[in-house]
Amino acid sequence: MSAQLKISLPDGSMREMPVGSTPADVAAAIGPGLAKAALAARVDGELVDLSRPFTGDAKLALVTSRDEADALELARHDFAHILAEAVQALFPGTQITFGPSTDDGFYYDFAPKDRQFTEDDLPAIEAEMRKIIAADKPLRREVWSREQLISRWQQQGESFKAEWAAELPGDEDLTVYWSGEDWLDMCRGPHLPSTGKLDPAAFKLTRVSGAYWRGDQANAMLSRIYGTGWLNKKQLAEHLNRLEEAAKRDHRKLGAEMDLFHLQSEAHGSVFWHPKGYLIWRELEAYMRRRLDRAGYDEVKTPQVMDAKQWEQSGHWGKYRENMFVIPDAVPSTEDDGALVSSDADWMALKPMNCPAHILIFKQGIKSYRDLPMRMAEFGCCHRNEAHGALHGIMRVRQFTQDDAHIFVRPDQLVEEVKSFCDLLDLIYKDLGFADYTIKLALRPDQRFGSDEMWDWSEASLRDAVVATGRATAQFGWEELPGEGAFYAPKLEFHLTDAIGRKWQCGTLQTDTVLPERLDASYIGEDGEKHRPVMLHRAILGTFERFIGIMIEHYAGKLPVWLAPVQAVVATIVSDADDYARDVVRQLEAAGIRVEADLRNEKINYKVREHSLKKVPHMLVLGKREAEEGSVALRSMGAEHQKVMPLAEAIALLKAEATPPDRR
């Protein structure tokens, strides 16, 4: 008797199939169209190869290109394999290592034989990949033992693969995938049935870069090739177009076009804020100051430079010195030859963070448990000598100003304080137009200060607080990141996304018991004894530099009126309207609007174009008609048509829009 398997399909129907049959057989049984379109299968929810025999009765859903998420994942994974195969065909002796799919494509890391790859190599590799796709090579799964794998990789001189295989579990089925009969990679799968299922016009190799083997700086530098991969040519074109559009929002480009700031090599990693850029900063800072005042913070200002001895005591000199700018505490020599500074000068350092200084303020006088929580805020300018390759526009710089604060709390106040911080951050992010942000909890790293009990407690407090605010959810991308915490404390991280999808940490909150201990901060408890406060390091914007950079990209330069450096331009059509225009400007200025006049002898088309490119939110266009009527033609960014209205009405409208959100 031949046993039959019961295979149930998504439409509720059931098919009996002989033992040993595969999802591909089911597809063929249903119809030739489906057999051709099927890419893979979900069997009892698990994504598997079409050719993988059923192991028992099962629920089957065939995956076609209409199941876009699964299909893209499969395609990108296959593109990565084909990339590896192509590179080995063109550059014999290149070792393969690892190549996953990414959000928009794939990459593969290679150990090149004699030189790193460059972008000039990409066209030839792409062509070779297309050959492999055109050959429609079947992708066949085989189960191997670990020993088989290791010996195969060793034989082929694939030392990275061999190292990796040696660490795979010995008691599980390990799989390899053959591409045709001549190339294989070890891989968990699943894969498409054959390379010909890929659209040769749906991928593009985009760039090369270095990447460390296993992500560790101590390891070999591999050569990584990135590609973007899709299901068809149209999707690829749309993606490339999105990238092009996103590049137009780049804060570095808009910063120059809108005359907000510049960077130059003599002060690399430090921003030259121009008047218009600094207006955004001032408006943002004023807003933050009002919010913090209302939330019970006390603002302070602390020294930019402190003696190295102080940094030794805080632990930064030992743990953080490579990122610090040090300054000799000496009068430089004015002689032309010889050392500028004598070698026995004492050292001082620019502050890389504000926390020690805030503890020093806390320690002045005696603090009672009644004084806590104490929220000490500072818009603190810090310097960190970052790795040069890390610098990025104004998002990652060497001089930056944090909206920093340290909250000294009793242990019993911790969770409540973290909750109010999360609420304050949420309020501020929404005011600034960021309803979407993600929250991560970075847990204890391997190298750390403090006891396990302390870490258990701090991590649980942060987790509990976020859970209590209802934000430990998928909507907020809630995720715990093992090993990512600071050496002294676990961290809540609040991330925002830039124009091309890169994530940036902005807000942060860390619970620190180490620094109060090292710098001997204490308060007198109800019991009359000294106790250690817990210190919360926290920032909402993170830094003004990064946050303004993110805002520029988020709004594509079209900032909300209250933040726009120039809120309105008064532009004349004919010089006969000049006097009226000057009067309009005066009245707008009196109403507190940041306004500029454009009385140049230029056509109105020219003026409209220029101010539109500068992202000025409102233009008040004045010709003879308006001058006679005392009206204005208001042309607003994003609106299709101008609106003619009495001047008083326009002023009221602009005034309302120019009001910061906390004053509405």
Q: Between residue 615 and residue 654, which ones bind RNA under the rule CB under 7 A?
A: 619, 621, 623-626, 633, 635, 642, 644
Which one of 25, 403, 404, 498 is the catalytic residue?
Answer: 404
Number of amino acids touching RNA (CB under 7 A): 77
* 175 exposure class (CB count in 10 Å sphere: 0-12, 13-18, 19+): middle
Write down the least CB distance from residue 533 to RNA, Å: 21
How many residues belong to the chain? 664
**Strand ranges (E), 244-332:** 261-262, 272-273, 298-299, 305-307, 326-329
Classify 414 as helix, strand or coil. helix
The label of the residue with tokens 């099927």 reads 38
Write down the least CB distance from residue 382 to RNA, Å: 8
The DSSP code sequence of 445-496 is -SS--S-HHHHHHHHHHHHHHHHHTT--SGGGT-EEETT-S-SS--EEEEEE
The residue type at 401? T
Segment 476-495, which members bind RNA (CB under 7 A)? 486, 491, 493
Q: Is 169 in the site for RNA (CB under 7 A)?
A: no
Q: Is 113 in the site for RNA (CB under 7 A)?
A: no
Write down the least CB distance from residue 212 to RNA, Å: 4
Classify 122 as helix, strand or coil. helix
For the chain, helix (H) and strand (E) counts, in that order, are 20, 33
406 is annotated as an active-site residue = yes
Pick one of 269, 516, 533, 557: the residue that binds RNA (CB under 7 A): 269
Which one of 76, 367, 375, 384 is the catalytic residue?
Answer: 384
> Under a CB-based contact definition with an 8 Å cutoff, are residues 365 and 383 in contact?
no
Residue number with CB closer to RNA (314 or 402): 402
Segment 583-612, which members bind RNA (CB under 7 A)? 601-606, 608-609, 612
**d(Cα 578, Cα 585) in Å, to the nearest integer?**
10
Binding mask 525-564 for RNA (x = CB under 7 A): --------------x--xx-xx------------------
Q: Is 318 in the site for RNA (CB under 7 A)?
A: no
Residues paired with 513 in a beta bridge: none
Write down the least CB distance from residue 151 to RNA, Å: 30
Find the part of the chain contacting RNA (CB under 7 A) among 83-91, 278-286, 501-509, 513-521.
501-509
Residue number with CB closer to RNA (257 or 346): 257
Supply the DSSP symbol for 379. Answer: E
537 is annotated as an active-site residue = yes
103 is annotated as an active-site residue = no
Q: Is 272 in the site for RNA (CB under 7 A)?
A: no
Residue 628: in which H helix or E strand, if any?
A: helix 624-629
Write down the least CB distance from residue 51 to RNA, Å: 34
Segment 114-133, which members bind RNA (CB under 7 A)? 115-119
Residue number with CB closer to RNA (318 or 389): 389
Write down the least CB distance from residue 491 to RNA, Å: 7
Q: Is 524 in the site for RNA (CB under 7 A)?
A: no
381 is annotated as an active-site residue = no
The DSSP code sequence of 229-254 is E-SSHHHHHHHHHHHHHHHHT-HHHH
Which one of 491, 614, 618, 635 is the catalytic residue?
Answer: 491
**d(Cα 158, Cα 457) in Å, to the nearest integer?**
46
Q: Is 208 in the site for RNA (CB under 7 A)?
A: yes
531 is annotated as an active-site residue = no
The sign of the dihedral angle between the CA atoms of 218, 221, 222, 223 is positive
- The stretches of 19-98 forming alpha helices (DSSP H) are 23-30, 32-37, 68-90
Residue number with CB closer to RNA (26 or 536): 536
Write down the least CB distance from residue 143 to RNA, Å: 31
Q: Is 448 in the site for RNA (CB under 7 A)?
A: no
Active site residues: 355, 384, 402, 404, 406, 491, 537
